[in-house]
Structure 1
Amino acid sequence: MDPVREEAIYHARHVKIICVGAGASGLCLAYKLKRSFRSYALTIYDKNPSVGGTWYENRYPGCACDVPSHNYVYSFEPKADFTSVYAGSTEIQEYFQGFVRKYELEQHLKLSHAVEGATWNEEKGIWEVGIKSLTTGKIVEDWCHILIHACGYLNKPAWPKVSGLDEYGGIKVHSADYDTSINLSDRNVVIVGAGSSAVQILPAIQPIVKSVTIFIRSPSWVLPDISTEAGQISTKQMEEFIREPEVLLRLRQENERTMNSIFSLYIKDSKLQQQCRALLESEMGKIINSQELEEKLIPKFDVGCKRVIPSGFKFLRTLKENNVKAVYSAVKSFTPSGVLSEDGNEYAADVIICATGFDTSYIPRYPILKPKGRNLQTEWVESITGYMGVGVSEFPNTFTLLGPYTPVSNGPTLIAIEAQVDYICAFIDRFQTEPSIHSIEPKKDACDDFKAYVETVMDKTVWTGDCRNSHNNHKIRGRVPTTWPGSTLHYLEAMREPRWDDWEFKYTGNRFSWMGNGISQTEWDPTADLAYYIRQNDSGPWDSRWKRTMELNKSGSMPPRQLHRQAKLAVE
């Protein structure tokens, strides 16, 4: 009797996957699965009516990316027709919409659907997921073998935690859920916050409002502006990028090399930290031109303790405009007509814009339940037990994208997303081609060791300094910072090959059943070369991590550089 194909080694069983979130992470997952897998079903649920995640939700005046536009793309999917060096949110969302169309990913999307909860069924080895349609109100029940949380970390607006928030009688809006129909012309506006969003909002609205009062609780390090002329990408440049993709590739590579050359800036007392601090203190001082205001606007903490803001000199200049008033304190409370400062002064406003960032606690919006009453929501209140940005301690068959300990502040985020998707796909591949696997989860002791390692390394970095940053959920200290304890290149090398021994595999039946009936996949491919391993020279993969890394990073292809230095940061 002839052998049965389904019994060949590594036969791929059908795997059902649910992804929560249709932002950059979820769309990358959909693309990678389509590129490399067969016999799978993917559904991506997103509460928004369109893709883009953060870039759909953030549409406040002046909203733009703080990474050069041509590098805020997937590594394999350039965009030649960006109109500015720092693209606006609408243009970035259009990039992701175009990505969906190009690769025909619409079939996987369930938009305007909010996940209400997920429960692990140990007996069946599946996640049971409840979803609410935001258009009909109907509750939908779904299930999957693999559940992936691609919700990101900038998806829960953090309102000011002060009294009277609901007493204010005017227009109140959060920068992360901005209402573009609000008319600010000739209005008195209050901006609460002075971080990345506020730095973009203030210069954008100052020319049209009657007055604007901005509350600056703590300063930020800001970088010089790109001039208006240099900030816009000319039609001629755009046409060149379209006509000659190699020119755009060289620009992207050079931008990336610069970003990847400065990680030691984030190490306390490093030479780059000293150089950058001296440069920014000097340049910011020239703009501020007041010793009293320098004390209020130039941080005392290290550069990079919280995110450094590009093109921030326009913000500093705008603070000097006649219709702008800066209040160097937190908001004490809201009142029916405005806000109170900490010294008891009231500031009336027609519109209050709360540019107060996000809840970056990583606590899920919805319950993620395991037998014996375990809920990830409550467990992560006590301690974040994420594994390398992708795993959740002792929760089976579930992964995160842009989860805790992702390099979100020290490099190009989309590159980290790609590494995470590749890593998760390795687990999906193994789950699919070893049909006896019931479940996979990170071991508790591995997660504990990883967190202890992170804590040790973080003591040497600026992220444990005296500033409120998103990695500490906007507190000064209080928890181990949840960014990656190294550079983006460090992360890529750490994530290149899964450490299988950090993971617990549970099987049903014989763990070697994947070996099948002794027939290879090659023998089931009528077009395959049955002598593929016979060759003239050794072109096989390198057997050491050292040689594999040298090949990947093209060692020897670039002129030698001075390590851990960046000429652009030296004071002239």
Structure 2
Amino acid sequence: MVLHVKIDNDGIDENAPGGKFGYRIGHTLGDYSVPDRILNADDDRPVKILTVGAGISGILMAYLLQRDCKNVEHIIYEKNGDIGGTWLENRYPGCACDVPSHAYTYAFALNADWPAYLSGSDDIFRYLTRVVQCFDLRKYMRFNSAVEHSEWIEEEGKWLVVIRDLLTGARLTEKCDILIGANGLLNSWKWPEEVKGLHDFKGRLVHTARWPDDYTEKEWAHERVAVLGSGASAIQVVPSMQSQAKSMDLYIRSPVWFAELAGHGGENTDYDDAQREKLRTNPSDLLSTAKEIEGGLNQGAGIKALMPNSAEAKAATAHVASRMREFIQDEKLYDLLTPSFPLGCRRLTPGNPFMRAVQKSNVTVHRSAVVEVRGNTVIDTEGSQVEVDTLVCATGFDTSYVPKYSLQGRNGVLLSKKWAEVPEGYMGMMVPDFPNYFMFQGPTFPVANGSVMGPLQTVGAYIVQMVKKMQHESIHSFDPKHDVTDQFNKHTQAWLAGSAWADRTCRSWYKNNETGRVHSIWPGSSLHYCEMIARPRYEDFSIKYEHTQNMFAFMGLGFTKDQVEGGDLSPYMNANVLETVFSDFRGDADEDFRVHDRKNRVNDFPAPTTA
């Protein structure tokens, strides 16, 4: 029995002989003393977290830490002057997300006001702004602040981070317990530097990721325009410019498959006022709409269709090829635009407007790469020379995964050197030798395996679990073990070896195009990823504790948080475990006999026999 005594901490001086909780009366053995702590109390350990980037992942992290964590100081440093990340930066004509709008939302903030099935960058930026305002998240953000350097300090268990104010040039140094890279994979845009004389072009040189505000339809009307690239931005910008341009030359080094996604036929459709009002006033309809679209992205057959030898792959390829043939009437053009590599080797995308635009009389499609620019002339690998007024580079981003800031881990290891040849980590979000560091969309994150927002939110929830473990158990640092990470990546590469992504006949940012090694794909579906990281596998980590003498020091004085704060003192008794069927159950007719005859069913344990 335990005496029925209420623990009352009101008015207790933590410096008094009894300690913070009035209970320090010994608890010492040799040179080890039990700390003045309560198990799993919210003030177990204050934690400071710095996040790099206020795009879709940084906003998510601000919300989750605010909702789920206590005693956390969270600061987000953003190089731009506002939130949004890629949706602030990308403003080219036709810029939109090729993921359906209702699947490109946070689960905690479904949006009834999407204007279209595939919404534009302005609408996505408007949505993100609304989320930040609704949940008062801007208070965590510091804008025009670029992280330049981060360095792990082993003795302190902290990251030292150097931030530069882009308005004043002043530098600030911060320390934090946890560093989160939410700067995004498609963040650092790149010119096609392999094109000789590119920056000496005499006309207008434009990159889709830095579209000039003063270059509008009025300016490109009646111009001779060349577009380099065949990825998502090219597929969107071409139909947006084609009808006004005098001529358009499109240079495609590698074509793409134009596929239907989540049951969507490739045509963008607007939602009318009545549809939006219905979703706005019926939350259950909004949820079911979002779930239906999200479920379409996560169908298991979709992953099977990306295994080239499967029946699903053969059927899907035949269907997509037939669909493209219906759109592209000219046989020569169809041959130019139809890939010879397996479905999914490059990013699948809806492209009906693009397929229509490239068949217009003012468009010339070149299945070649541009190699040189002389004056106003564009020269490709076939020797063709075309004079143009504007050169649009839809040539994508640096997808090396290495942050633009210096990241130096344990023993001086630089991530840029560690990943110089092979970017690989643990579960798409952590790296050995970089303790207390998380990243969104790291190597092997499922960028093309189904839903994207589901995995992003699961990563956020994973980080919250690790933050709480650090607090509750007084953890100094944790990072994935080398051997565990090696085995994970070995499994990943073995799985990918049988997939379309590993095919060597196509070029894509999913892999190293020189070695063929795929580094951007999860070995399974997006749902598989979410389930895999739903609960941290703590056995995969090297963990150091703040209390160097005893890893169980966090157990503290032997009280729980509820005992100290007057909470639930019988948490194991609750409605969730109660079997109500038992209340109405009365047993059988032999119940009384069984009670009174118990002695006849008792057997003594036999005494052990001796040899």
Establish whether TM, by shorter chain, passes 0.5: yes
Q: Show the counterpart of 2:334.
A: 294
- How many residues are matched? 536
Compared with structure 1, are the counterparts of its residues 477 and 303 closer, same or farther at alpha carbon in structure 2 (3 Å cutoff)? farther
Structure 1 residue ranges, 4+ long, deviating more than 4 angstroms after superposition: 224-230
The whole-number CA distance in structure 1 between the counterparts of 2:69 and 2:493 is 37
Compared with structure 1, are the counterparts of its residues 354 and 448 closer, same or farther at alpha carbon in structure 2 (3 Å cutoff)? same
Give yes or no for the alignment of 1:376 onto 2:415.
yes
SS of residue matched to 1:472: coil
Alignment RMSD: 1.9
Task: Tell me which amino acid in the other structure corresponds to 2:150.
Answer: A
Give yes or no for the alignment of 1:10 onto 2:40.
yes
SS of residue matched to 1:176: helix
The whole-number CA distance in structure 1 between the counterparts of 2:266 and 2:320 is 21
Q: Show the counterpart of 2:245.
A: 209
Q: Show the counterpart of 1:169.
A: 202
Query: What does the per-residue CA deviation read over 1:373-414, in whole Å, with 9 as the maximum and x for residues that have no partner?
Result: 421111101222311111112211111111111111122211
Q: Show the counterpart of 1:195.
A: 231
Which stretch shows the higher mean deviation, 367-376 or 202-211? 367-376
Give yes or no for the alignment of 1:363 onto 2:402.
yes
On the 8 A contact 2:306/2:343 being kept in 1, the answer is: yes
Query: What does the per-residue CA deviation read over 1:186-211, in whole Å, with 9 as the maximum and x for residues that have no partner?
Result: 22211001111111111101122222
Query: How far did residue 162 of structure 1 move?
Result: 2.1
On the 8 A contact 2:227/2:394 being kept in 1, the answer is: yes
On the 8 A contact 2:410/2:434 being kept in 1, the answer is: no
Q: Show the counterpart of 1:309.
A: 349
Compared with structure 1, are the counterparts of its residues 392 and 224 closer, same or farther at alpha carbon in structure 2 (3 Å cutoff)? closer
**What pairs up with 1:117-156 in 2 under 5 angstroms?**
117-156=149-188
The whole-number CA distance in structure 1 between the counterparts of 2:509 and 2:534 is 26
Query: How far did residue 3 of structure 1 move?
Result: 6.3
Compared with structure 1, are the counterparts of its residues 536 and 413 closer, same or farther at alpha carbon in structure 2 (3 Å cutoff)? closer
Task: Tell me which amino acid in the other structure corresponds to 1:265.
Answer: A
On the 8 A contact 1:468/1:476 being kept in 2, the answer is: no
Which stretch shows the higher mean deviation, 480-489 or 1-10? 1-10
SS of residue matched to 2:198: coil
Query: How far did residue 345 of structure 1 move?
Result: 2.3
Q: Show the counterpart of 1:450.
A: 488
Q: Show the counterpart of 1:38.
A: 70
The whole-number CA distance in structure 2 between the counterparts of 1:504 and 1:211 is 60
Compared with structure 1, are the counterparts of its residues 372 and 503 closer, same or farther at alpha carbon in structure 2 (3 Å cutoff)? closer
The whole-number CA distance in structure 2 between the counterparts of 1:15 and 1:212 is 55
TM-score by length of 2: 0.85
Give yes or no for the alignment of 1:421 onto 2:460.
yes
Q: 1:332 aligns with which of 365, 371, 383?
A: 371
SS of residue matched to 1:120: strand
Q: Show the counterpart of 1:260.
A: 298
The whole-number CA distance in structure 1 between the counterparts of 2:329 and 2:528 is 40
**What pairs up with 1:435-514 in 2 under 5 angstroms?**
435=474, 437-465=475-503, 466-473=505-512, 475=513, 477-508=515-546, 509=548, 510-514=550-554
Query: What does the per-residue CA deviation read over 1:125-179, in whole Å, with 9 as the maximum and x for residues that have no partner?
Result: 1111111111111111111010111111101113212221221122212112222
Which stretch shows the higher mean deviation, 35-44 or 312-321? 312-321
Q: Show the counterpart of 1:410.
A: 449
Task: Tell me which amino acid in the other structure corresponds to 2:324.
Answer: M
The whole-number CA distance in structure 2 between the counterparts of 1:229 and 1:494 is 34
Compared with structure 1, are the counterparts of its residues 537 and 218 closer, same or farther at alpha carbon in structure 2 (3 Å cutoff)? closer
Query: What does the per-residue CA deviation read over 1:81-109, in whole Å, with 9 as the maximum and x for residues that have no partner?
Result: 11110000110011111111111111110
The whole-number CA distance in structure 2 between the counterparts of 1:4 and 1:277 is 68
On the 8 A contact 1:192/1:331 being kept in 2, the answer is: yes
The whole-number CA distance in structure 1 between the counterparts of 2:199 and 2:214 is 21
Q: Show the counterpart of 2:605.
A: none
Query: How far did residue 536 of structure 1 move?
Result: 6.6
Task: Tell me which amino acid in the other structure corresponds to 2:20.
Answer: V
Task: Tell me which amino acid in the other structure corresponds to 2:497.
Answer: D
Compared with structure 1, are the counterparts of its residues 535 and 363 closer, same or farther at alpha carbon in structure 2 (3 Å cutoff)? closer
The whole-number CA distance in structure 2 between the counterparts of 1:122 and 1:472 is 33
Query: How far did residue 271 of structure 1 move?
Result: 2.2
Compared with structure 1, are the counterparts of its residues 477 and 304 closer, same or farther at alpha carbon in structure 2 (3 Å cutoff)? farther
SS of residue matched to 1:382: coil
Query: How far did residue 279 of structure 1 move?
Result: 0.9
Give yes or no for the alignment of 1:238 onto 2:276.
yes
The whole-number CA distance in structure 2 between the counterparts of 1:493 and 1:110 is 34
On the 8 A contact 1:392/1:400 being kept in 2, the answer is: no
Query: How far did residue 421 of structure 1 move?
Result: 0.8
The whole-number CA distance in structure 1 between the counterparts of 2:247 and 2:466 is 55
Give yes or no for the alignment of 1:81 onto 2:128.
no
Q: Show the counterpart of 1:549.
A: none
Query: What does the per-residue CA deviation read over 1:198-239, in whole Å, with 9 as the maximum and x for residues that have no partner?
Result: 111111011222221110111110136978997011111111
Task: Tell me which amino acid in the other structure corresponds to 1:503.
Answer: F
Compared with structure 1, are the counterparts of its residues 229 and 70 closer, same or farther at alpha carbon in structure 2 (3 Å cutoff)? same
Give 5+ residue unaligned stretches, structure 1: 541-572
Q: Show the counterpart of 1:557.
A: none
The whole-number CA distance in structure 2 between the counterparts of 1:32 and 1:113 is 22
On the 8 A contact 2:190/2:396 being kept in 1, the answer is: yes
User: Matched residues, percent identical?
Assistant: 37
SS of residue matched to 1:334: strand
The whole-number CA distance in structure 1 between the counterparts of 2:356 and 2:526 is 33
Query: How far did residue 290 of structure 1 move?
Result: 3.1
On the 8 A contact 1:224/1:313 being kept in 2, the answer is: no
Larger Cα Rg: Structure 1 or Structure 2?
A: 2
